[in-house]
Structure 1
Amino acid sequence: MYGKVFGDDEKLKRFLRWRVQIMERGVKLLQLKPGGVNSIIQVTDLKDMPKRELRVASNQILSLFQDNYPEMVARKVFINVPWYFSVLYSLISPFLTERTKSKFVIAKEGNVAETLYKFIRPEFVPVQYGGLSRAGDLDNGPPKPASEFAIKGGEKVNLEIDGIESGATITWDIVVGGWDLDYSAEYVPNSEGSYTIVVEKTRRIPSDLEEPVHNVFASKEAGKMVLSIDNTSSRKRKVAAYRYSVRKPTSALS
């Protein structure tokens, strides 16, 4: 793939023209007024990027953008960064202004979601990077906001959705950056004589899962939904996000 994109000077020029076009699209979205969008966050995935092509493309892009788009990018986030990127960065760093260097954020592989959440809401982060945004989601308007939380190593977190009426429908999405933990869901009725309903049995969610958990449950009696995320078998802190909606039962027509 990289040979097709960077194989010769003409292909590299074509790539640079495409990269400028992406930048121009971002500039058109800027509102440049009080309370409006006035800066850009760019994210570049360097997974499996060959060293030579990375060096050539980076040098030209940095020079091009510093000369023509000064101060428009608030943050430049690099994710899935290979080890040699640090060497490359140390070589070009002396030619960058301190202000430009302060905008660079470098996230190593395995730390992508936690880094992106610092700058981008989880509902706008693509699912393959630990967020809740799927292709085409924005076609139907702004996505439903998500709530962020962290799970410490050795910790178990229970998320409770209270106040659910009988006949209501509960829909939820949940994602954890670098999963590799246990997840389950159960419905707890309010009535003392009722039994807890296992909605999703405890299962191990692998670290390479790219899709968020998504489920729907229709309640037959009032109660609460409990989503459990168990990280007790790991020492690593993880970031997560979830969102839910509760559709109340419709009244029967008399």
Structure 2
Amino acid sequence: MESTQPPPPPPPAVAAAVAASPISTPKPPFPSKKSFVSSLMEVATLRSPSFKEDTYFISHLKSSERKALQDLKNNLSAATTTDSPSMWGIPLLSDDERADVILLKFLRARDFKVPDSLTMLQKSLQWRLEFGADGILDEDLGFKELEGVVAYMQGYDREGHPVCYNAYGVFKDKEIYEKIFGDDEKLKKFLKWRVQVLERGINLLDFKPGGINSLIQVTDLKNMPKRELRVASNSILSLFQDNYPELVARKIFINVPWYFSILYSMFSPFLTQRTKSKFVIAKEGNVAETLYKFIRPEDVPVQYGGLNRPSDLQNGPPKPASEFAVKGGEKVNIQIEGIEGGATITWDIVVGGWELEYSAEFIPIADGSYTIAVEKPRRISANEEAIHNSFTTKEPGKMVISVDNTASRRKKVAAYRYVVRKSTAI
């Protein structure tokens, strides 16, 4: 599966005017609690080198790896007494190159140890049969209220990997928690729904050399009730590790509480370099900045500082956005020129973490015409989502959208997009 997202349009003129220089303040003689926590977070992040995705081209494998792949095929064939085993509709003993991709995932999960890989594969095939995983996409499991909230597939990263979002903060509500996890039967039903979400993402993969063969996983730790969800979390983790090896290319943790970095530092020595290389950790306040490194703004959900609303998906692929940065002490004016009279301009704009002033005005071309304040200057709080607005002109002119960050010293990521529809009046 190749990414079909079109490239972003060239941005219109962006005039950046620095209204005031950042005020320099002396550093405290000793690190505060916040700076100490921040430094721990930076250490945890820096210790996670960029993950390099594995190759699935047979010609790129080491000779020992090619031998292990052939041995796994031979051993699986010898151990098979019924129909040829298959996974995700792909016969594993066929000459289909997609079968090699799946078998290589199991081999890599067990460091190319053929007996261990075969055992893992056989157990996974048996689990899929007993769990009903192959037909789970067609089941109505009754979790409509959790769709798009707790676990959901939405958009792709910059390389074309499907993105799965996880957020368990809703279970802080005891009534909702009891409704979903009140007893063992409810927990089993939830696990089945969670597998269904993952299977939807896997259904988007190529399973071929050079294709998209893994997902991106974003986990929101905000308000997550750790103690209450311990059983469910352990069950999900165990189930996924045992049956879905090497299907996550990167794990991005967002809204990470300060103590997570300390826990990470403690457990880091026990994690393999391969596992740590997949981790990306973003504390609260750095969510949009982190996600934009891997996912384009038009694919990032609005609640995480992006432009993607669930309703937008009904109209096909999201319209590409233009990205820009707002430096500390800077005011940025986005000028959209050449707008005809009677045209309607619709725009979306978002700034990661906001906490700045926003406004929009229409400036007519004709002498003597007055500037129209489409949106008066107002302070946008950090938790607000992307702004969506439209304006119909009466005469030719230009739209100027402004974000004023002069009161802050912090650089912020931002994105916008717009469309101009000409008047249909005759």
Q: Post-superposition shift, 1:183? A: 0.8
Instruction: Give 1:29's match in structure 2, choosing from 200, 204, 222.
Output: 204
Amino acid at match of 1:160: Q
Equivalent of residue 189 in structure 1, options 364, 368, 389: 364
Structure 1: state its 5+ residue gaps.
Answer: none
Deviates more, 1:33-42 or 1:185-194: 33-42
Partner of 1:206: 381
How has the CA–CA distance of structure 1 residues 10 and 81 changed in structure 2, closer, same or farther, with 3 Å as cutoff?
A: farther
2:395 aligned with 1:224 = no
Gaps of 5+ in 2: 1-170
Aligned residues: 251
2:409 to 201, 224, 235: 235
Query: 1:35–1:137: structure 2 CA closer, same or farther, 3 Å change rule?
Result: farther
Residues 1:110 and 2:285 aligned together:
yes
In the TM superposition, 1:33-182 aligns within 5 A as 33=208, 37-53=212-228, 60-182=235-357
Tell me the alpha carbon deviations over residues 63-97 of structure 1, each in whole angstroms, 9 at most, x when there is no partner. 44344323221211111112232243345434432
In terms of mean alpha carbon deviation, does 2-11 or 168-177 score higher? 2-11
**What's the C-alpha RMSD, in Å, of the aligned pairs?**
2.5
Shift of 1:202: 0.9
TM-aligned CA distance change 1:137 to 1:126, over 3 Å: same
Say if 1:171 and 1:244, in contact at 8 Å, map to a contact too: yes
Instruction: Answer with 80-89 or 197-206: which moved more.
Output: 80-89
1:13 is displaced (CA, Å) by 5.1
Q: 1:10 to 1:91 in 2, by over 3 A?
A: farther
Judged with a 3 Å threshold, the aligned counterparts in structure 2 of structure 1 residues 106 and 15 are, in CA distance, closer, same or farther, namely farther
Q: In the superposition, relative to structure 1, how do residues 87 and 101 fare at CA in structure 2: closer, same or farther (>3 Å)?
A: same
Q: What is the DSSP-based 3-state SS (H/G/I as helix, E as strand, rest coil) of the residue aligned with 1:235?
A: coil
Rg comparison, structure with higher value: 2
Which residue identity does 1:235 align to in structure 2?
R
CA distance in 2, matches of 1:188, 1:35: 50
Identity of aligned residues (%): 76
CA distance in 2, matches of 1:234, 1:119: 26
Amino acid at match of 1:195: Y
Residue 21 of structure 1 and its aligned partner are, at CA, apart by 2.8
Higher share of residues assigned helix: 2
Q: Please give the alpha-carbon distance, in whole angstroms, between the structure 2 residues aligned to 1:67 and 1:98.
A: 19
1:33/1:247 Cα in 2 relative to 1: closer, same or farther (>3 Å)?
Answer: farther
Q: Which amino acid is 1:130 matched to?
A: G
Which whole-Å CA distance do the structure 1 matches of 2:411 and 2:307 have between them?
20
In structure 1, distance between residues paired with 2:245 and 2:271: 12
Counterpart position of 2:43: none
Per-residue CA deviation, residues 127-147 of structure 1 (Å, 9 max, x unaligned), is 111111222221221121111
Quote the Cα distance in structure 2 between the aligned partners of 1:11 and 1:243.
43
Change (3 A) 1:58 1:83: farther
Match of 1:249 in 2: 423
Bigger shift: 185-194 or 213-222?
A: 185-194
Cα distance in structure 1, aligned partners of 2:197 and 2:258: 27
Moved more, 100-109 or 9-18: 9-18
**Distance change (3 Å), C-alpha of 1:241 and 1:62:** same
Greater fraction strand:
1
User: Aligned equivalents of 1:115 and 1:22: distance in 2?
Assistant: 24
Change (3 A) 1:160 1:209: same
CA positional deviation for 1:156? 0.5
Deviations 1:86-122 (A, max 9, x none): 2433454344321221111111111111111112221
Q: Cα offset for 1:44?
A: 1.0
- Could you tell me how far 1:209 is from its partner in structure 2? 1.7
Q: Alignment partner of 2:219: what SS?
A: strand
TM-score, normalised relative to structure 1: 0.87
| Shift in alpha-carbon separation, 1:51–1:85, aligned structure 2, 3 A | farther
Segment drifting more, 54-63 vs 167-176: 54-63
Distance 1:102 1:42, change over 3 A: same
